[in-house]
Amino acid sequence: MEPQLGVKIGCFFALLILTLVCGLIPICFKWFQIDAATGRHRRVLSLLGCTSAGVFLGAGLMHMTAEALEGIDSEIQKFKMQNRTEREGNASDDADSAQGGI
């Protein structure tokens, strides 16, 4: 096995374990349990939940935007080529009709 591949696999598992541990830490603390929350505490937890949802939504939209712009760019290029071909075809038709009329 190549050394780089081993490092990549090690980093993958390290990130996986770190993410799981950090994601499960709030379960251990009573402060993060929504059932026990009252008043301002409930509002703070709600704000944190909304913020995290916004982060995921923004990341998803940014991911899709890059692919959508790539698709739009290719469609614009096709449209430009099609218009250029049509204009050249119309110009040659006009030239042919002008020569035929003489």
Residue, of 32 and 84, whose pLDDT is higher: 84
Q: Which helix (H) or strand (E) holds 56?
A: helix 40-100
Q: Which of 32-46, 64-78, 84-98 has the highest mean pLDDT?
A: 64-78
Q: Per 3-state DSSP, what percentage of the chain is helix, strand, and coil (rounded to 5)?
A: 90, 0, 10
Residue 25 amino acid letter: I
Distance, C-alpha 57 to centroid of its chain:
9
Is residue 34 very low, low, confident or very high in pLDDT (cuts 50, 70, 90)?
Answer: low
pLDDT surpassing 80 at residue 38: no
Residue, of 14 and 46, whose pLDDT is higher: 14
Tokens of 86: 């049509």
Is residue 91 very low, low, confident or very high in pLDDT (cuts 50, 70, 90)?
Answer: low
